[in-house]
Chain A
Amino acid sequence: MQSYIPSIGMEVHAELATRSKMFCRCSVAFGGQPNTRTCPICLGLPGTLPVPNRAAVEMVVRTALALNCTIAMRSIFHRKNYFYPDLPKGYQVSQYGDTNPLGYGGYIEIPTSDGGVKRVGIRRVHLEEDTGKLMHLPTGESGIDYNRAGVPLMEIVSEFPPDIQNAEEAKDYLVQLRQILLYLGVCDGKMEEGSLRCEPNISVRLKGAEKLGTKTELKNLNSFKSVQLGVGYETSRQAAVLEKGEKVLQETRGWNEQKEESYLMRIKETENDYRYFPDPDLIPMVFDDAYIEGLRKSLPELPLSKSQRYEKDYGLDRKESWEFLVDPEWSRFYEEAVKLGGDPRLIRNEMVSEFAKHLNETGIPARESRVTPAHIVELTKLKKEGQITSKMGKDVFVAMVKDGRMPAQIVKESGAVQISDESQLTSIIEEVLKTHPDAVAKYKGGQVNVKGFLVGQIMRQSKGQANPEMVQDLLQKALEQA
């Protein structure tokens, strides 16, 4: 087989995290009884006028700024006309043109496995409305639920010709984009609920060829895994078609997650057929520099910059950094703890062990837990100063989760302070050696590993409060003298 180079363009739709729809104030939520969130505007009844949601416009502009786009200082809405009952009006409100979308000509930076970053161009970021949901009925008819119709939808399209050249990069692009949306708070990023949807288009060409091949569009990808598998599959499928001397057709294909293969959905309509034109019901949006600069200043620190800072200032490696960054809430917690003056490494270890386990088991988000950054910092300090053993730390953690008391207070009230007093430890050790003469004999006979057993007995005798390092030293001495 000859060598083929894939080119992958990414079209991502994100439902915006507003409370109401794009052009009416019907509430926005996932699920619910069908057709309980509609009104004359989103049902497209005659005589109604749409009014854009200010919050949605702002979310798109902020996203465009975070993606290094140029902002259209004047931007309008268009009607995209098509015949399909997922929107009752007979058109979808969208934004057409190269420099009309709210943002255009930007880029996103993606961390690569070699420790660097790859820049992927963003062609445009625009605002449109989501469609209703169609379901097939047993009678052979279609049933329509318009709850989702008119929900603010942001479309983010990568640059053409595409910068993405393999399935892994396609997945990484989506991962990074999702992170940015989460940190901006503009989308909940739930791919399984369809609030973040990805439709890659894929073409392959012979290595060395200038001209890009015919592309296909892939739908129904609802996880990072299916994006990677789907793009990989489509790449190989097209290469195989070309290898046989046949032509790749411009078509839309669906992804079958069970079979892990793509299937033909339809031959693509050409763009002109949508007959875009300016929506006369929606007047232009015009922005000034002060407004845009104000939004630019309000942008939070983005995940890539955070990860670089965690590596540089906190001494975490890339993988450890991203453990925090997958969840904005989790990284906020971590940063607050570090700011309180804790050791970044110890705090990280504390958070990813007991605390993460606890949150996973209970399903409580970090911000609702009784455990605050101050608790974690104090706990790591008690351990570091040798006031408690890590085993005692676990008990303190359990108590902390239960009633929210601070670790130092828990330790004080239980009287469970680590025993670091030499005479006290020595007497415990002597007692243990006395009750296990056989073990002492074995040790003297050369079975040095019996020492572990003795340490265990000592810790048990001290109810886990003995300072482990001191026990090691003192036991060694005691055995040598015995």
Chain B
Amino acid sequence: MSISLEEVRHVAQLARLELDEDEVLAFQGELNALLGHFLDIQGIDVSDIDAQSHAVTMQNVWAEDFPWESLPRELALKNAKVSRAGLFVVPAIIED
């Protein structure tokens, strides 16, 4: 299991990370080391274990549909770097 330079660039692009060629190489090494651990896991015999998406055995935990009080707006906006007129303000985003 190994990751190509092209895959590193693709993942970086998806994560909106700008990497120079040295960094691409460095991350390839680090990611490949990580992926190596999965090889160890793949060595375990799981043939009699069902596939599962969660580590807990609980199911069907619901909340009833009764509204609660929301945060006061000042509090909701408190962590925002910039806010104006009750809005979170961010740099212009062009969806690609």
Contacts and interface: CB of A to CB of B under 8 A. Distances in A.
B68 A18 contact: no
B85 A85 contact: no
Contacts of A36: 70, 73, 76, 86
Interface centre among B86, B88, B90 (most CB of A within 10 A): B88
B64 to A, nearest CB: 6
Interface centre among B60, B82, B85, B91 (most CB of A within 10 A): B60
A145 B70 contact: no
B60 to A, nearest CB: 6
Nearest to B57: A283
A51 B90 contact: no
B75 to A, nearest CB: 9
B63 A53 contact: yes
9 contacts: A27-B68, A34-B87, A38-B71, A51-B62, A54-B63, A76-B53, A76-B54, A84-B93, A146-B76
A182 B96 CA distance: 35
B65 interface: yes
Given A43-B76, A85-B90, A55 B65 contact: yes
B63 A273 contact: no
B61 A283 contact: yes
Interface of A: 18-20, 24-28, 33-40, 43, 45, 51-57, 76, 83-85, 134-137, 140-146, 265-266, 269, 273, 275, 278, 280, 283-286
Contacts of A56: 65
B61 A137 contact: no
Given A141-B91, A284-B54, 11 more contacts: A20-B68, A27-B70, A37-B70, A38-B70, A39-B68, A40-B71, A76-B53, A84-B93, A135-B87, A145-B86, A278-B54
Contacts of B54: 76, 278, 280, 283-284
Contacts of B1: none
Given A33-B73, A278-B54, A20 B62 contact: no
Contacts of B68: 20, 24-27, 39
B67 interface: yes
Smallest CB-CB A-B distances: 8 pairs = A143-B87, A54-B62, A278-B53, A55-B65, A27-B67, A25-B68, A144-B88, A51-B63
Contact of A137 (B14, B64, B79, B84): B84
Contacts of A27: 67-68, 70
A36 B92 CA distance: 23
Contacts of B65: 18-20, 53-56
B56 interface: yes
A25 B59 contact: no
Contacts of A146: 76, 88
Contact of B93 (A142, A278, A285): A142
Contacts of A83: 14-16
A38 B76 contact: yes
A35 B14 contact: no
B51 to A, nearest CB: 11
Interface string B26-67: 000000000000000000000000000111101111111111
Contact of A141 (B89, B95, B96): B89
B87 A144 contact: yes
A385 B66 CA distance: 52
A140 B91 CA distance: 8
A134 B93 contact: yes
A283 B59 contact: yes
Nearest to A59: B65
Contacts of B84: 137, 143
Contacts of A266: 95-96
B58 to A, nearest CB: 5
Interface centre among B59, B64, B65, B67 (most CB of A within 10 A): B65
A283 B65 CA distance: 18
Contacts of A285: 59-60
A137 B89 CA distance: 9
